[in-house]
Amino acid sequence: MAREESTREAYGRTLVELGEANPNIVVLDADLARSTQSQMFGHKFPSRFFDLGLAEQNMIGIAAGLAASGKTVFASTFAVFASARCFDQLRMSIAQPRLNVKIVASHGGITVGEDGFSHHAIEDVGLMCSLPGFTVIVPTDAVEAAQAIRAAAALLGPFYIRLSRPKTPVIHEDGYRFVLGKAVTLRPGRDATIIAIGVMVALALEAAHRLREIEGIDCRVLTMPTVKPLDEEAILQAARETGAIVTAEEHLLQGGLGSRVAQVVSSHQPVPMAFIAIKDVYSRSGKPAQLMERCGLTAEDIMDGVRGVVLRKARQMAFRLGGR
């Protein structure tokens, strides 16, 4: 595999670059700066960095006050605390007033690993997408994370960006350009489409490769880094052209990418769908790879999902033909 870098490392690096160019950027953390990598900004610009200690609700309120006073504010902690712990504060102080605060949450999903369920954010994307006015991004890799963070800094309004703990393969090439609200086609295909986000993208590519090699199934692979607002056009194009969709996310089934894509598909272009996501349970301690296997988030799971939708598509087609 090529180069690996965690998306949170990309965050710290990008924050410093942004801070050099823009004296208006202020960064907050809640005693996890060494983990989220916001410390890199803190070391470079101590007067514009505030560590609020273990007080996420207070951090969100302070972020709102700074933003209301004209600052571009980045506020970071683990995804589980950045979303669920201070949800009412996000709602009251940031979402409704549409203030210019960027919540950059590291340690999304179960690849956090050994710390266990208390540290596994599996509801965060659904929670944050539910807040009117928030833009929600789940970058694929470090290259995209850096660009998404720059895009968020350049636009007014609330953002939630979900990052991961482990080092992950860099998928995008250096010349890649992130466009807010746009899906990216990583692999063309006609038989089915896999729409994946975050750490699932690499697995989706692996699944597509193996399905082609072994079974001759030709899968399109899309990444949907902007989970809100969705690229409805790309979804509907995939539905029209491939007739079957599988979504893959390191998140609960309810409220996440899959349910959002299903809303678009069922409204405009119903096709067979399968959802690779965490079922209605909490996870536990373990190595990331073990947890991904236990929760049904492997390349094999995606392959099973594709086989299922391709079969349903074929049956529907046969039914239609038979009906004539």
Interaction site with another protein (CB under 8 A): 26, 47-48, 50, 52-53, 55, 57-71, 88-89, 91-93, 96-98
CA dihedral 237, 240, 241, 247 (to 10 degrees): 70
Of residues 96 and 267, the one with the C-beta less far from another protein: 96
226 strand-pairing partners: 137
Amino acid, res. 77: T
**Residue 56 falls in the annotated catalytic set:** yes
Q: How far is CA 57 from CA 89, 103, 118, 132, 233, in A?
A: 6, 13, 18, 19, 37
**Contact (Cβ atoms closer than 8 angstroms) between residue 223 and residue 322:** no
**Contact (Cβ atoms closer than 8 angstroms) between residue 203 and residue 168:** no
Of residues 99 and 274, the one with the C-beta less far from another protein: 99
SS3 192: strand
CB of 24 to another protein, least distance (A): 9
Of residues 26 and 80, the one with the C-beta less far from another protein: 26
- Greatest alpha-carbon pair distance for the chain in Å reads 74
Q: What's the per-residue H, E or C state across 90-158?
A: HHHHHHCCCCCEEEEEECECHHHCCCCHHHCECCHHHHHHCCCCCEEECCCCHHHHHHHHHHHHHCCCC
CB of 59 to another protein, least distance (A): 8
User: Among candidates 247, 301, 257, 291, which has minimal Cα distance to 110?
Assistant: 291
CB of 81 to another protein, least distance (A): 13
CB of 141 to another protein, least distance (A): 33
CB of 94 to another protein, least distance (A): 10
CB of 91 to another protein, least distance (A): 8
Q: 70 Cβ partners below 8 Å, 6+ apart? A: 24
Task: Report the alpha-carbon distance of residue 243 to residue 230 in Å, rounded.
Answer: 19
Of residues 60 and 219, the one with the C-beta less far from another protein: 60
Of residues 35 and 57, the one with the C-beta less far from another protein: 57
Of residues 69 and 266, the one with the C-beta less far from another protein: 69
Catalytic residue positions, numbered: 56
